[in-house]
A and B are shown apart, each in its own frame.
Chain A
Amino acid sequence: MPAVNETIEAVQSVTESTYKWGFETDIEMEFAPKGLNEDIVRFISAKKNEPAWLLEWRLRAFALWKTMETPLWAAVKHPPIDFQDSYYYAAPKEKVGPKSLDEVDPELLKTYAKLGIPLREQEILAGVEGAGSTPAEGRMPIAIDAVFDSVSVATSYKERLGKEGIIFCSISEAVQEHPDLVKKYLGSVVPQGDNFYAALNSAVFTDGSFVYIPKGVRCPMELSTYFRINAKSTGQFERTLIIADAGSHVSYLEGCTAPMRDENQLHAAVVELVAMDDATIKYSTVQNWYPGDAEGKGGIYNFVTKRGACRGARSKISWTQVETGSAITWKYPSCILQGEDSVGEFYSVAITNNYQQADTGTKMFHIGPRTKSTIVSKGISAGHGQNTYRGLVRIGAKATGARNFTQCDSLLIGDLCGAHTVPYIENRCMSAKVEHEATTSRIAEDQLFYCRQRGLTQEEAVGLIVNGFCREVLKELPMEFAVEAQKLLQISLEGSVG
């Protein structure tokens, strides 16, 4: 109850009509030369002191990428991307290792503050005396790994997690400290040649998070990464790898922001999740990359490959995403349901306003018997926004008794936007059951009037109704982020109703 009210307060307090995360941080950066070739791949690998096997792995990915073509099947339009006109490596010059948190550049801390990283976590990030590792009263503890452009600059809560045997660090660090784990799992869910953008990422990924939860451990706090693109013309290619060993449990949250820029920036991440027997991974994303201005100028191109493998029996992977930002969103967080009785879930809210385009959805591959998947997608289109749900449910011959339930709801605001639903269902198993429901609606005039008669402004009314529309998804988010997400929904829709 109180949390719900807090949410409303938060929703109401939002009045800025511009992208409020549109600031740049003035930190000296180190760049690799512009462009993309084998030397750049070697440069990145060398910068990160990587072992030979990883350099080879990258080079193989690069070779594959050169043979591939940009995928064109998604319902998004953009001018061709010049991959040679971008920097593939940018790092804050000052070397800030995770062991010297107190030496973090104050500019960086300011950035965190502007990002809304909770104060307590900032203090811990900054190594403030006495901040320790206890969170503020009444709050769920959250451990943060912040990716600032290409290098993960700081990781908090490490000690406390360490006691449980949990590894939570940047992937670069994991390459150095836990090479066996990285070698075993990297690319095991999303192979280097999986798709154009995954291949690109595999060749030039710079940083990202690594999580390993040992057998039987329930991670005592939310793990969180804040991605942020800062330097001009840098692509951001993070690579995240999360492994939940048998019987373990982890909830992970990724939040993203990027400064306002006229040019379009490319973001092509790869996230791989592996869940063993009885393990659960909950992966939540709140994405508010800069969407471009009201005329459709600028904004992030977000081409992301996210995939989870439920390798073990009774394992579960749950994706929750709130996508409010980016000029283009191209992502399909997927689940490979291998283990018997494993469960995949996808809960999504995608908003497109002005000239934003989103082509997003999920793929559920039912391989093991009695595997189960649930898909709930809420698409909201306003302005000239185009929103496509694209989903695949594939049920293999051995997935006896498999079940899928899909619900796709679209909400249209105004007459110039579009909503599209493209569900693919492939069922090779007689005993499987697949259900699909889809609705398209508009915010009704009587709903708006009802709210306004009760004192809400038009925008508050839209915010409230949209939040209601997304409720089934928002309730899947950790409470801390549900508040932020609701705020974002309202901001994203500002000016969408005459």
Chain B
Amino acid sequence: MLRIEGLSAEIDGKEILKGIDLEVPTGEVHAIMGPNGSGKSTLSYVLSGREGYEVTGGTATLNGVDILAMEPEERAAAGLFLAFQYPVELPGVGNATFLRTALNAVRKGRGESELDAMQFLKVARQRMKALSMPEDMLKRGVNVGFSGGEKKRNEILQMAMLEPSMAILDETDSGLDIDALKIVSDGVNAMRGPGFSALVITHYQRLLDYIVPDRVHVLMGGRIVKSGGPELAHELEAQGYGAIQEGLPSKHRFDGGEAAA
């Protein structure tokens, strides 16, 4: 389970996260929604240890272990996975090579034996089939020349292979066509269970029809300003973020409230 308390962080001296409190119990899927620029991706980077994001306060633990002090690869080995909003291209690095290297690195970190080429291929083929990915994608360079949707699917393939205990999916739904949305959601739902939790960042209620969250949180101005059940997503879809903004005490208002108005 992921427990975040009072987490604040800055980039280049600019404070982006301003005290996040959030708990995702084991086995649950939570959604994070929020306006552009509110700090959703920043939160995912801070949790996964990206360089340049400085934690200025608060704590974050994964299954009771403080992750903020770890190297990014140690967090990955500890079970944290981030599906990137913008998956990165690695020219010349074969997708299969990358997947297998990553898988064995994570397995090693977990004290499991490494998979040989045959074992790896077997698992990879299975997972790709489930995600309706053509097998020749294994041979191509990581994300190189992939369409937007293919890149997202590739992220989910990596998640399915690495079997994390905590996955953060940053706008994995954007760029997916209707069928792909369903396939990817099925992929995530298949992993749901006692050993898996997820934080799903999205702008659209539609995804949450497929991946039904246990909780929905609204992130605005670097804070979780509202939490609720799946119905909260419907409310947001109907009324937008403005309504929430209105209801907040001015010190929590994204626009600074009356002072700025």
Contacts and interface: CB of A to CB of B under 8 A. Distances in A.
B51 to A, nearest CB: 6
A8 B96 CA distance: 10
Given A2-B117, A8-B101, A464-B97, A452 B91 contact: no
A457 interface: yes
Given A5-B117, A455-B77, A450 B90 contact: yes
Contacts of B146: none
B88 interface: yes
A11 B93 CA distance: 13
Contact of B92 (A9, A451, A458, A472): A472
B47 to A, nearest CB: 10
Interface in A451-472: 451-458, 460, 464-465, 467-472
Contacts of B50: 449
Given A1-B96, A4-B96, A464 B90 contact: yes
A166 B105 CA distance: 46
Contacts of B118: 2
Interface residues of A, number: 33
Interface string A415-452: 00000000000000000000000000000111101111
B93 A12 contact: no
Contacts of A6: 117
Given A446-B88, A449-B72, A453-B72, A460 B97 contact: no
Interface in B51-96: 51-52, 71-73, 75-77, 81-82, 84, 87-94, 96
B109 interface: yes
B120 interface: yes
B72 A452 contact: yes
Interface residues of B, number: 42
Contacts of B162: 454-455
B98 A454 contact: yes
A456 B101 contact: yes
B76 A452 contact: yes
Nearest to A11: B101
Given A4-B96, A452-B76, A469 B91 contact: yes
B97 A5 contact: yes
B73 A452 contact: yes
Nearest to A457: B73
B49, B71, B89, B94 pick with most chain A CB within 10 angstroms: B94
A465 B101 CA distance: 12
Given A4-B97, A450-B84, A456 B73 contact: yes
Main DSSP-derived SS at the B contact region: helix
Nearest to B106: A455
Nearest to A444: B88
A471 B98 CA distance: 14
B105 A455 contact: yes
A454 B158 CA distance: 8
Contacts of B84: 450, 453
B102 interface: yes
A260 to B, nearest CB: 30
B108 to A, nearest CB: 8
B223 interface: no
A460 B100 contact: no
A456 B105 contact: yes
A470 B92 contact: yes
B227 interface: no
A153 B175 CA distance: 64
A6 B105 CA distance: 15
B158 to A, nearest CB: 7
Contacts of A471: 92-93
Contact of A467 (B93, B100, B117): B93
A452 B77 contact: no
B141 interface: yes
Given A449-B72, A452-B73, A454-B162, A464 B106 contact: no
A12 B75 CA distance: 19
A444 B118 CA distance: 32
B100 A5 contact: yes
A453 B100 contact: no
A469 B92 CA distance: 6
Contacts of A455: 73, 76-77, 102, 105-106, 109, 162
Nearest to B118: A2
A30 to B, nearest CB: 48
B104 interface: yes
B48 interface: yes
B121 interface: yes
A324 B105 CA distance: 26
Nearest to A452: B72
A445 B50 CA distance: 9
Contacts of A450: 84, 87-88, 90
B42 to A, nearest CB: 14
Across chains A and B, which 8 residue pairs bring their CB atoms closest together, nearest first? Answer: A468-B92, A468-B93, A455-B105, A471-B92, A454-B102, A450-B88, A5-B117, A452-B72
13 contacts: A5-B117, A8-B97, A8-B100, A9-B114, A11-B101, A12-B105, A451-B102, A452-B72, A453-B81, A454-B98, A457-B71, A457-B73, A464-B90
Given A452-B76, A454-B158, 15 more contacts: A1-B96, A4-B94, A5-B116, A12-B105, A444-B88, A445-B51, A447-B88, A447-B90, A449-B51, A450-B87, A453-B72, A454-B98, A464-B90, A468-B91, A468-B141
Interface of B: 48-52, 71-73, 75-77, 81-82, 84, 87-94, 96-98, 100-102, 104-106, 109, 114, 116-118, 120-121, 138, 141, 158, 162
